[in-house]
Amino acid sequence: MKFKTFFGATALFVLTAASGSAADKDAADTAVEAAKKYAGTTISIVWEAGLQSLDPLNYSGPQWEKLTGIKVKVVEVPTDQMFTKIMQDFKSGAGAYDALNVIPSWMPDLARAGALEPLDKYVDKFGYRDELQDIAAAYRDNQMQYDGKIYGFPDDGDVMLLYYRKDIFEDPKMKEQFKAKFGYDLAPPKDWKQFDEIGQFITDKMAPKVYGAGFFRTAPYPQYMFQERFRTEGGKFFNADTMKATVNSDIGLKVFKGMLAENKFMPPGVEQWNFVDNLAAFLQGTTAMTISWPPYGRWAAGYGSGEEALKWVPKSQVAGKVGYALTPLGRPELGVGFDLSVSATSKNKEAAYLFIQWLNSKKTSLERVQLPYTLRDPFRLSHYASEKYRSLWPDATAYLDTIKTSGEKGLLDLSLLQQDKYDEAMTKAISSLWAGEDAKAILDRLAQQFDAITEKVGIENQKAVYKVWAAKPGAYPQ
């Protein structure tokens, strides 16, 4: 009896000590320890080509190899080819990729096709569920799962922010003249009417030195801006009962006309601007307002300007002069984003999983989102609260607070079966708009294309997916 009691107590003590040790080890350390048995192997990861891949090439890949002995081969792929490459690899069964970067709106298609490995068993095996709760709800609740299973870890807090020139908005003369003309204070626009008025006012006063605003207008990104504005103005993509597209409603027409009209107070040639053109214009002080993802804010502040990898970024002429705000109507599009996933055809699934757990963990991700050249934006509550991050430049606190609020109010990208077809249709529609085609005709054609895609996918199939998506808080403004 005494022996049994002693044995039981000892066992309990050992178990408590062991679980205590496990609790002390965070997800990053757990991943590293577990991955060491795969030392000597090489895993490949698909990553967006260009600046995005500087992270795994210069920081996380070498770091992982140092910690675990596993080599990381980064396969750089342009964004518009990532879906294609992932599906090609899966359909051919080649198994060339182990880990993946996946845009969340692709998840239904990739998961249904069987191209993504469900991660729940690994999450439980390596105790990652707790740290997943630190991911901001906008991303955690909407970009991680499909059909109740985890297929990816949100790894990029993409959300559109409005950047504006504080110095222009706070100039006493500009403020006085604006108030006299429009009857309200010159401040970040609350709606698109104010945006147009402010933009035109600044252009009238300061062009050609400074224009009121500039946006990227070339494929593939403007369609996210359309998605946001269409919904914040009250539009719905589909009739939920019939699945008929309703993008060609009066609201769609209003948005299209609004987008076209804005070009008039933007710099000449804005219709050809891509992400970099727009960035360059804002950093050089040519535009007073723009909307884009969080990296603009960091680079406008001059963060990382001495980095070799950022030599291509024009030197910011507006450091210290940039304010951050929610986009007009206060419901910004999350816009793209990236999840870390494991390929279903990988021959090194566990090793690949451990790498993405380590990458995505609280500890590692905080380092990664602070890299000067990173395009990965803060996406965890711990990122927003990080004292270290908040001290990176004078306005970093306001920057992080705005990103956090924007994420909380963010609108999800439309995510249906064969979403890339709907995206392509929207992209083509917007480029037709810049080309001068009649807005109503474009929207009617877009609606027809949406209907044709829905019919091909299967109306009932798509209806079920749309119902789930539309029920999410971030799908339509409440």
Partner 1 sequence: MTLSASLNGAEQRRPSRFGRMLENRLPYLIVAPAILILLLVGLFPLIYSLIVSFQRITMTENDTSFVGLLNYAELFRDTRLWASLGHTAVITAVALPLEFLIGFLMAQLFIDRLPGRQLFVALLVLPTVISPIVAGATWRLMFDVRFGPIGQILSFFAGEPVRILWTVNPAYVYPAIIICEVWQWSPFMFLLLLAALSNVDQSQLEAAEIDGASYLRVLRAVILPSIAPVVAVACLIRSLDLVRIFDIVWALTEGGPGSITETISLYTYVQGFSQFETSYTAAISFLVIALLTVITTLVLKRMELAR
**Count of beta carbons in the 10 Å neighbourhood of residue 85:** 16
DSSP string covering 372-384? TT--PPP-BHHHH
**451 binding partner 1? (CB under 8 A):** no
Residue whose CB is less far from partner 1, 275 or 434:
434
Our finding on whether 437 is near partner 1 (CB under 8 A) is yes
Q: With CB under 8 A as the contact rule, which of the stretches 121-129, 262-270, 316-324, 400-408 interacts with partner 1?
A: 262-270
> What number of CA atoms fall less than 13 Å from residue 393's CA on the CB side?
21
Work out the end-to-end distance of the chain between its first and last CA atoms, rounded to an integer number of angstroms: 65
- Using CB under 8 A as the binding rule, whether residue 107 contacts partner 1 is answered as no
Q: Which is nearer to partner 1, 273 or 303 (by Cβ)?
A: 273
Q: How far is the CB of 243 from partner 1 (least distance, A)?
A: 17
CA 313 to CA 120: how far, in whole Å?
40
Contact call for residue 101 and partner 1 (CB under 8 A) = no
d(CA 412, CA 224): 10
Stretch that binds partner 1, among 245-253, 310-318, 329-337, 416-424 (CB under 8 A): 416-424
Site string for partner 1, 345-384 (x = CB under 8 A): ----------------------------------------
Cα separation, 476 vs 470, in Å, equals 7
Residue 84 interacting with partner 1 (CB under 8 A): yes
Which member of 361, 421, 447, 476 binds partner 1 (CB under 8 A)? 421
Residue entry with tokens 């708009």:
433
Q: Name the one range near partner 1 by CB under 8 A: 43-51, 76-84, 144-152, 337-345.
A: 76-84
In whole angstroms, what is the distance from residue 341 CA to residue 344 CA?
9
Q: Kindly list the distances between the CA atom of residue 339 and the CA atoms of 2, 241, 293, in Å, as whole numbers in the listed order.
A: 55, 31, 16
The residue range among 160-168, 226-234, 382-390, 417-425 that interacts with partner 1, by the rule CB under 8 A, is 417-425
Alpha helices in 133-191 (DSSP H): 137-143, 166-169, 172-182
The window from 1-9, 155-163, 261-269, 385-393 that contacts partner 1 (CB under 8 A) reads 261-269
Q: Is 91 in the site for partner 1 (CB under 8 A)?
A: yes
Residue 420 in contact with partner 1, rule: CB under 8 A = yes
Please report whether residue 432 would count as binding partner 1 according to CB under 8 A. yes
| CA angle 373–378–379, rounded 5-degree value | 140
**424 contributes a contact to partner 1 by CB under 8 A:** yes
Quick check: helix, strand or coil at residue 102?
strand
Closest distance to partner 1 from the beta carbon of 428 (Å): 5
Residue entry with tokens 């401040």? 187
Nearer to partner 1, 148 or 436 (CB): 436
Please report whether residue 231 would count as binding partner 1 according to CB under 8 A: no
Question: What letters, b where the CB count within 10 A reaches 16 and e where it falls short, cover 350-388?
Answer: bbbbbbbbbbbbbebbbbbbbbbbbbbbbbbbbbbebee
Cβ distance to partner 1 smaller for residue 313 or 356:
313
Contacts (Cβ under 8 Å, ≥6 apart) of 111 = 146, 147, 149, 151
Is the alpha carbon torsion for 28, 341, 135, 368 positive or negative? positive
Structure tokens at 286: 């040519």
Binding letters toward partner 1, positions 22-61, x by CB under 8 A: ----------------------------------------
Of 24-32, 87-95, 174-182, 222-230, which segment contacts partner 1 by CB under 8 A? 87-95
Name the minimum Å distance from CB 277 to partner 1. Answer: 8
Among 242, 272, 317, 391, binds partner 1 (CB under 8 A): 272
Radius of gyration of the chain (CA): 24
Least Å distance between CB 269 and partner 1?
A: 4
Contact between 428 and partner 1 by CB under 8 A: the answer reads: yes
Contact call for residue 269 and partner 1 (CB under 8 A):
yes
- Indicate the burial class of 177 (C-beta count within 10 angstroms; 0-12, 13-18, 19 or more): middle
Q: Which residue in the set 17, 18, 23, 113 belongs to the binding site for partner 1 (CB under 8 A)?
A: 113
CB within 8 A of 271, min separation 6: which ones? 217, 218, 263, 434
Cα 394 to Cα 422: distance, rounded to the nearest angstrom: 41
Q: Which is nearer to partner 1, 83 or 476 (CB)?
A: 83
Residue 79 in contact with partner 1, rule: CB under 8 A: no
Q: Using CB under 8 A as the criterion, which residues of the chain lie in contact with partner 1 when the complex forms?
A: 80, 83-84, 87-88, 91, 109, 112-113, 219, 267-269, 271-272, 417-418, 420-421, 424, 428-429, 431-432, 434-437, 442
